[in-house]
Structure 1
Amino acid sequence: MNKEVKFTDWGLMDYQEAWAKQETVFNTTVAIKTANRTNNTTLITPNTLVFCEHPHVYTLGKSGVPENLLLDEKGLEEKQATYYKINRGGDITYHGPGQIVGYPILDLDNFFTDIHLYLRTLEEAVILTLKDYGIVAGRYPGYTGVWLDPDNDKARKICAMGVRCSRWVTMHGFAFNVNTNLDYFKNIIPCGIDDKAVASMQQELGYELPMEEVKLKLRTHIAALFGMTLI
């Protein structure tokens, strides 16, 4: 099993461009696995972990309800935001500057073939990162992602998740609100949940976080929990 993972930060990148780049890496990995099965070979499959930020964009997953976007075309233009229907799981979410968007493109045959454990492990990496800053976070029963105060009526989501997995190769991933402008969430019903708020680290702590520092802590936790060697 190959536990080496190439880490790359694409910086601030248009969502559609990042989606296309993801698809290229994903399809290459799936093709290697298909060739191995067809030709009875053992070519090593690569693993990639991408961090980036996006300009204002709303994305709707395969199980999403279009009506959960509360803006029409004119409203999107006024907010300088774009909108895409995409091939991940989950409903609608928002991406924007100040948010760490993570795209692990992993062959889970190199780690473990359990999509639920995969999601829980990503959640745990975010929970541990928040703990580094004194923020207590956890899980909300029945939902993916990371939540603050999940056990009471103040529950609010700080990290959303939606993934695609084919032949145990993953793509898409998570959106972690660090210094995110939360006003943009008012234009959607986030993840289809209309009775819960969203949160950011900046909102909780009262100051802007250094993004590179948070990214370093997060990728360190991801690597440790998956047993990865980042390269």
Structure 2
Amino acid sequence: MFHSIYPYKKRCLLYNQGLMPYLDAHAWQRSLLTDRIHDPSLDDVLILLEHPPVYTLGQGSNSDFLKFDIDKGQYDVHRVERGGEVTYHCPGQLVGYPILNLQRYRKDLHWYLRELEEVIIRVLAVYGLQGERIPAFTGVWLQGRKVAAIGIKVSRWITMHGFALNVCPDMTGFERIVPCGISDKAVGSLAEWIPDITCEEVRFYVAQSFSEVFGVELVESQPKEFFHSE
């Protein structure tokens, strides 16, 4: 549990998971969101995990940003309801899925996106790295390389999807797409600056930063058995 000298008013369940198939995590998010639409008093949730290699397309994203034939089935590709263009998930990339009731915070999606960026920027600062925002784009950059992608979906002010921070992934998967539809800006990972960095250590700082930025007390929890990764 993450404690602070500040009296938190909100509780947020923290699910620290390992490697989980994308569709399992997606179904879990949808279940949590549906539960909270029906009962808005339920606690907020932050899921931290990694995915096996997978490509995802946002709801209105352009499949031209894939550099391979989507019908050949060589790679797992899923179109989901988040905003944003195509992205890539794989081990070594830490993914965060906040399921938050924004009525407890601010009913402002731009504010929420900036706060998610702030979480990542504070994590980078722990390592002495200066994360940057680029106007007109969502995400976090480090010396001109995009290290964190963000894409969300909000239903009745309940959030799902979230952020993906490249910690120490195999970056070759990004070569098969135009990441986030941005062709003139490279992607990067923290391992380029900190060669021995691991997702395990970064998890702690992401959780700590999330707790500070959103003013919540994180309560480490275990999900239903169905959603335990192998």
| Fold equivalence (TM over 0.5) | yes
Contact 1:2–1:46 (CA under 8 A) maintained in structure 2? no
Question: Given the alignment of the two structures, is residue 102 of structure 1 paired with residue 96 of structure 2, yes or no?
Answer: yes
Q: 1:24 to 1:94 in 2, by over 3 A?
A: same
Question: Given the alignment of the two structures, is residue 216 of structure 1 paired with residue 210 of structure 2, yes or no?
Answer: no
Report the secondary structure of 1:197's partner residue: coil
Cα drift, residue 118 of structure 1: 0.9
- Give 1:164's match in structure 2, choosing from 132, 153, 159: 153
Aligned-partner residue type, residue 172 of structure 1: H
Q: 1:123 to 1:96 in 2, by over 3 A?
A: same
Greater helix proportion: 1
Structure-2 residue corresponding to 1:9: 16
Question: Given the alignment of the two structures, is residue 82 of structure 1 paired with residue 76 of structure 2, yes or no?
Answer: yes
Unaligned runs of 5+ in 2: 1-7, 220-230
CA distance in 2 between partners of 1:212 and 1:3 (Å): 25
Cα drift, residue 148 of structure 1: 1.6
Q: Give the structure, 1 or 2, with the largest relative contact order (CA under 8 Å, sep 6 or more).
A: 2
Root-mean-square deviation (CA, aligned residues, Å) is 1.6
Contact 1:105–1:170 (CA under 8 A) maintained in structure 2? yes
Question: Given the alignment of the two structures, is residue 189 of structure 1 paired with residue 183 of structure 2, yes or no?
Answer: no
Question: Deviation digits for residues 20-69 of structure 1, max 9, x if unmatched?
Answer: 01100011101124xxxxxxxxxx23200000100000000012101111
Question: Deviation digits for residues 116-154 of structure 1, max 9, x if unmatched?
Answer: 1111111111011111112111101100000123xxxxx
Report the secondary structure of 2:203's partner residue: helix
CA distance in 2 between partners of 1:215 and 1:228 (Å): 16
Q: How high is the sequence identity, in percent, across the aligned residues?
A: 41
Question: Given the alignment of the two structures, is residue 25 of structure 1 paired with residue 14 of structure 2, yes or no?
Answer: no
Q: How does 1:51-200 map to 2 (within 5 A)?
A: 51-72=48-69, 77=74, 81-149=75-143, 155-200=144-189
CA distance in 2 between partners of 1:12 and 1:222 (Å): 21
Question: Deviation digits for residues 203-229 of structure 1, max 9, x if unmatched?
Answer: 122x13132211101110111111001
What's the TM-score, normalizing by structure 2?
0.88
CA distance in 2 between partners of 1:63 and 1:137 (Å): 28
What's the TM-score, normalizing by structure 1?
0.88
Cα drift, residue 72 of structure 1: 2.1
